[in-house]
Structure 1
Amino acid sequence: MSKYFAGLSLIALTASCSLNKEPYSAIPDDGILKDETKWPAATAGNYALLKEEDFTRNYFQMGEFPSDDITLSGATTDPLFYSYTYGHITNQGNTRQIWRMGYKAINGCNRLLEVMPEGKSAAINELIGENLFIRAFVHFGLVRSFGRPYAQNPETNLGVPVITKYDITAMPKRNTVKEVYAQIVADLSRAKKLMNNDNTNSYATKNAAMALLARTYLYMGRNDSAAIYADSVITYGKKYTLLGTGELPRYFTKSNENNEETIFAIHHTLQDDRTWSSIGSMYYMSPGGQGYGEIYASDSYRALLDKYPEDVRHAFVQPVYLKDQYGQDSLDASGVKVMAKRNGINKWYILKYSNQDNVPTLSSPVVLRLAEMYLIRAEANAKMGKDMEALNDVNIIRTRAGLSGNALFSSSNMQGYATVLDVVLDERRLELAFETHRVFDLFRNNKNLFRDYPGVQPDHPQTVKYTDARVVHFIPESEILLDPNLVQNPIQ
Structure 2
Amino acid sequence: MKTYLYKIILVLLISVTAISCSDFLDVVPQDKILEDQTYSNEAGIQNAHNGLYLQLTANELYGRQLTMDAVEVLGQQYNMPTSYIQNKMASYAYSEAVPKQTITAIWEKAYTTILGCNRFLESVDKYPGVVSTEKMNELKGETIAIRAMLHFDMLRLFGPIYKVAPSNPAVPYYDIATTKANPILPAKEVITKVLADLDLSLTLLKNDPILTSGKYKATTAFDGNPYYSANRGQRLNYLAVKCLKARVLLYAGDKVGASTVANEVIAFTKTTSFFPWTSYLEATNSESPDRTFSSENFFSLSDYTLYQKQQQLFDSSLDNLSIYAPLLSRLNAVFESNDNDYRSLPSWKVPITGGKTMKTFFKYEDVPNKAKVFRLQIPILKLSEMYLIAAETSTVPADGIALLNTLRFNRGLVNLSTSAVLTTEIAKEYKKEFIGEGQLFFYYKRNNITAIPNGSAASGNITMGPLQYVVPLPDSEINFQ
What SS does the corresponding residue of 1:312 show, helix, strand or coil? coil
> 2-side partners of 1:357 and 1:89: how far apart?
43
Alignment counterpart, residue 39 of structure 1, candidates 35, 41, 45: 45
Alignment partner of 1:479 is 2:477: yes
Shift of 1:306: 2.8
Question: Residues 426 and 67 of structure 1: is their aligned pair in 2 closer, same or farther, counting only changes over 3 Å?
Answer: same
Which position in structure 2 is the counterpart of 1:463? 462
> 2-side partners of 1:396 and 1:411: how far apart?
13
- 2:390 is aligned with what amino acid? R
Alignment counterpart, residue 236 of structure 2, candidates 200, 204, 210: 204
What SS does the corresponding residue of 2:344 show, helix, strand or coil? helix
- 1:435 is aligned with what amino acid? E
Which position in structure 1 is the counterpart of 2:303? 268
Shift of 1:461: 3.7
Name whichever structure is richer in helix by fraction.
Answer: 2
What SS does the corresponding residue of 2:452 show, helix, strand or coil? strand
- 1:82 is aligned with what amino acid? K
Superposed counterparts of 1:146-225, under 5 Å: 146-155=158-167, 157-168=168-179, 170-195=180-205, 196=208, 197=210, 198=229, 199-225=231-257
> 2-side partners of 1:200 and 1:387: how far apart?
35
- 2:239 is aligned with what amino acid? N
Which position in structure 2 is the counterpart of 1:106? 114
**CA deviation profile, 1:379-416 (whole Å, cap 9, x unmatched):** 121xxx32122111111111111123xxx11324x2xx
> 2-side partners of 1:242 and 1:98: how far apart?
33
Which position in structure 2 is the counterpart of 1:333? none
TM-score by length of 2: 0.78
Superposed counterparts of 1:22-421, under 5 Å: 29-32=34-37, 34-35=39-40, 37=42, 38-55=44-61, 56-60=63-67, 61-77=69-85, 80-89=86-95, 92-117=100-125, 121-155=133-167, 157-168=168-179, 170-195=180-205, 196=208, 197=210, 198=229, 199-236=231-268, 237-249=272-284, 254=290, 259-269=294-304, 272-273=305-306, 275=308, 278=309, 281-285=312-316, 292-296=322-326, 299-320=329-350, 340=357, 347-356=358-367, 363-381=376-394, 385-404=395-414, 408-412=415-419, 414=420, 419-421=421-423
> 2-side partners of 1:6 and 1:387: how far apart?
54
What SS does the corresponding residue of 2:233 show, helix, strand or coil? coil
Shift of 1:462: 4.3
The total of aligned residue pairs comes to 421
Alignment counterpart, residue 431 of structure 1, candidates 427, 430, 433: 433
> 1-side partners of 2:363 and 2:430: how far apart?
15
- The RMSD of aligned alpha carbons is 3.3
- Unpaired stretches in structure 2, ≥5 consecutive residues: 10-29, 211-228
Q: Is the 8 A contact 2:327 2:456 kept in 1?
A: no
Q: Is the 8 A contact 2:314 2:325 kept in 1?
A: yes
What SS does the corresponding residue of 1:114 show, helix, strand or coil? helix
> 1-side partners of 2:70 and 2:178: how far apart?
29
> 1-side partners of 2:119 and 2:351: how far apart?
53
Q: Is the 8 A contact 1:68 1:300 kept in 2?
A: no
Shift of 1:53: 1.8
Shift of 1:349: 0.9
Q: Is the 8 A contact 1:281 1:290 kept in 2?
A: no
What SS does the corresponding residue of 1:314 show, helix, strand or coil? coil
What SS does the corresponding residue of 2:94 show, helix, strand or coil? coil
> 2-side partners of 1:219 and 1:280: how far apart?
33
Shift of 1:32: 4.3
Q: Is the 8 A contact 1:191 1:209 kept in 2?
A: yes
Q: Is the 8 A contact 1:70 1:297 kept in 2?
A: yes
> 1-side partners of 2:283 and 2:31: how far apart?
43
Q: Is the 8 A contact 1:62 1:145 kept in 2?
A: no
Question: Residues 182 and 469 of structure 1: is their aligned pair in 2 closer, same or farther, counting only changes over 3 Å?
Answer: same
TM-score by length of 1: 0.77
> 1-side partners of 2:161 and 2:326: how far apart?
27
Shift of 1:454: 4.2
Question: Residues 411 and 232 of structure 1: is their aligned pair in 2 closer, same or farther, counting only changes over 3 Å?
Answer: same
> 2-side partners of 1:90 and 1:208: how far apart?
36
Question: Residues 357 and 232 of structure 1: is their aligned pair in 2 closer, same or farther, counting only changes over 3 Å?
Answer: farther
Question: Residues 49 and 322 of structure 1: is their aligned pair in 2 closer, same or farther, counting only changes over 3 Å?
Answer: closer
Q: Is the 8 A contact 1:226 1:380 kept in 2?
A: yes
Q: Is the 8 A contact 2:314 2:324 kept in 1?
A: yes
Identity %: 23
- 1:97 is aligned with what amino acid? A
**CA deviation profile, 1:98-157 (whole Å, cap 9, x unmatched):** 1111111101110121244599611000000010111111112211111123212112x2
- 2:4 is aligned with what amino acid? Y
Q: Is the 8 A contact 1:298 1:453 kept in 2?
A: no
Question: Residues 479 and 190 of structure 1: is their aligned pair in 2 closer, same or farther, counting only changes over 3 Å?
Answer: same
- 1:443 is aligned with what amino acid? K
Alignment partner of 1:4 is 2:11: no
Q: Is the 8 A contact 2:121 2:143 kept in 1?
A: yes
Which position in structure 1 is the counterpart of 2:23? none
Question: Residues 429 and 274 of structure 1: is their aligned pair in 2 closer, same or farther, counting only changes over 3 Å?
Answer: closer
What SS does the corresponding residue of 1:368 show, helix, strand or coil? strand
Question: Residues 31 and 304 of structure 1: is their aligned pair in 2 closer, same or farther, counting only changes over 3 Å?
Answer: closer
Which position in structure 2 is the counterpart of 1:16? none
What SS does the corresponding residue of 1:175 show, helix, strand or coil? coil
**CA deviation profile, 1:417-454 (whole Å, cap 9, x unmatched):** xx312222212222223321222212211212333564
